[in-house]
């Protein structure tokens, strides 16, 4: 009897392990299909809705085939048919995305889409109650209405999020007298996770879809989500070039959508007038060009490279692999930058580091072991205070009688930039 119990427990454990592996593979395949669709320009809110509905339909269709047509009453065949349905739906989606032609790149300023996202979101929210009421009034069970609640709720959240992001296209950014903080990153890495932190009340107030039952828990976030509130509060409002494939401007920093022939000039203007430049180590096609421009403008002493914190680093790497991002560390960053841009990165500074550069391009570690955004920002503020004080002292010693003798920094620096061969973002 004891042997049978042990064998039964082992069989259950093995079944659970196999189920978890299959779920992991299904999620990984779904995320890779989604990323591939985004790379081809399908970045609107309709794309994830179509992918989720198709996968869910494959799951239900497989279960129905197993329960009704193949072997009625056999739970094993129902499970196997459900798995087959999910696999077939994901395979079909992957084939469709592979054959789908890339959409043309939207160059220049975003236009507000004509799709009534808010109306569609409200319609999705009221559909399940209306269906349940209609069924109950006709004396039928409201099972269909209950089953519609979850997918319609997800669709409503997607539509209202898209409506709020569309409102940002015509909205003017808030007035901030402080110089801007420029963010540089690869467009393909914008959704790569960076670290865990808790969202504050201001974020959940501005983005209601982020409200959760257990709101006190730390959440995995991208580099932009992780630092945007702290940097906007302590350093200045964030700006950066926008991905030309964006259907709607993402949440976070303000984005400038430049044309293919003007993005280099706009990038140089942003850097020249910025208080500082922040980034996470990574690899993207325009990395060398952007670092070269920063060096030519003399802004490399205001450039800060922030490495991910050590807390839950393994979990972040696992989720990034699940989302289709390969692991990138300091050595990959150094190899991508190379040695022809005037920088000497040095050894890996470790997790939670704030790295800047001296006048000769040598990397200097300002802090190590940072765990919260405030720890990173405090190190940046200390360095900027010293650098700005030194610059003010040097300016007063060189030009004690005239404040207009020196040419405008942004104008003179921008003119000295000569674009190198580089693919547009």
Domain boundaries, the chain: 1-103, 115-171, 181-415
pLDDT one-digit tens code per residue, 265-284: 989 999 998 999 999 999 88
Tokens of 56: 């869910």
* Residue-by-residue DSSP string for 75-143: HHHHHHHHHHHHHHHHHHHHHHHHHSPPPPP--SS-----S-HHHHHHHHHHHHHHHHHHHHHTT---H
pLDDT given for residue 401 in this prediction:
45
**Is-contact 273 410, C-beta < 8 A?**
yes
Report the C-alpha gap between 35 and 41 in whole angstroms. 10
pLDDT given for residue 303 in this prediction:
94
Name residues whose C-beta falls within 8 Å of residue 299's C-beta, 6 or more positions apart in sequence: 271, 272, 274, 277
Query: Sign (positive/negative) of CA torsion 280, 323, 118, 226?
Result: negative
Name residues whose C-beta falls within 8 Å of residue 196's C-beta, 6 or more positions apart in sequence: 218, 219, 220, 221, 309, 311, 312, 316
Q: How many CB atoms lie within 10 A of CB 314?
A: 8
Per the document, the length of the chain is 425
**Is-contact 282 186, C-beta < 8 A?**
yes
Report the C-alpha gap between 41 and 246 in whole angstroms. 8
Ranges of residues in the chain with a pLDDT under 50 are: 401-425
Q: Report yes or no on whether pTM surpasses 0.85.
A: no
pLDDT one-digit tens code per residue, 184-212: 988 888 889 999 988 877 777 767 666 66
pLDDT given for residue 425 in this prediction:
40
């Amino acid at each position: 009897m004891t042997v049978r119990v042990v064998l039964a427990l082992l069989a259950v454990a093995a079944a659970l392990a196999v189920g978890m592996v299959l779920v992991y593979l299904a999620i990984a395949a779904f995320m890779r299909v989604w990323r591939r669709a985004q790379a081809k320009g399908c970045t609107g809110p309709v794309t994830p809705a179509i992918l989720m509905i198709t996968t869910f339909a494959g799951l239900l269709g497989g279960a129905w085939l197993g329960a009704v047509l193949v072997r009625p009453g056999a739970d094993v065949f129902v499970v196997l048919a459900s798995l087959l349905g999910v696999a077939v739906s994901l395979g079909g989606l992957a084939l469709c995305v592979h054959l789908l032609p890339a959409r043309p790149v939207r160059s220049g300023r975003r236009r507000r889409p004509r799709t009534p996202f808010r109306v569609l979101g409200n319609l999705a929210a009221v559909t399940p109650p209306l269906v349940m009421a209609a069924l109950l009034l006709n004396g039928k069970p409201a099972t269909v209405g209950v089953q519609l609640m979850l997918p319609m709720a997800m669709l409503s959240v997607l539509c209202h999020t898209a409506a709020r992001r569309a409102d940002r296209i015509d909205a003017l950014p808030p007035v901030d007298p402080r110089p801007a903080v420029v963010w540089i990153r690869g467009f393909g890495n914008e959704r790569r996770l960076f670290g865990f932190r808790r969202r504050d009340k201001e974020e959940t107030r501005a983005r209601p879809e982020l409200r959760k039952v257990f709101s006190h828990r730390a959440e995995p976030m991208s580099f932009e989500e992780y630092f945007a509130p702290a940097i906007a509060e302590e350093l200045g409002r964030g700006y950066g070039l926008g991905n030309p494939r964006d259907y709607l401007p993402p949440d976070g920093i303000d984005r400038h959508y430049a044309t293919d022939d003007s993005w280099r000039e706009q990038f140089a203007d942003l850097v020249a007038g910025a208080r500082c430049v922040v980034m996470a180590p990574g690899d993207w096609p325009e990395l060398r060009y952007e670092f070269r421009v920063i060096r030519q403008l003399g802004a490399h002493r205001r450039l800060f490279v922030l490495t991910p914190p050590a807390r839950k680093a393994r979990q972040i790497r696992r989720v990034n692999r699940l989302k289709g991002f390969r692991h990138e560390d300091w050595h990959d960053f150094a190899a991508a930058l190379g040695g022809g841009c005037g920088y000497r990165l040095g050894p890996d500074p470790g997790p939670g580091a704030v790295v800047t550069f001296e006048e000769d391009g040598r990397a200097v570690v300002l802090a190590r072991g940072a765990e919260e955004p405030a720890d990173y920002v405090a190190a940046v503020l200390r360095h900027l205070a010293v650098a700005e004080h030194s610059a003010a002292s040097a300016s007063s010693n060189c030009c004690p009688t005239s404040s207009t003798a020196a040419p405008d920094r942004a104008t003179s620096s921008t003119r000295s930039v000569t674009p190198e061969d580089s693919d547009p973002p």
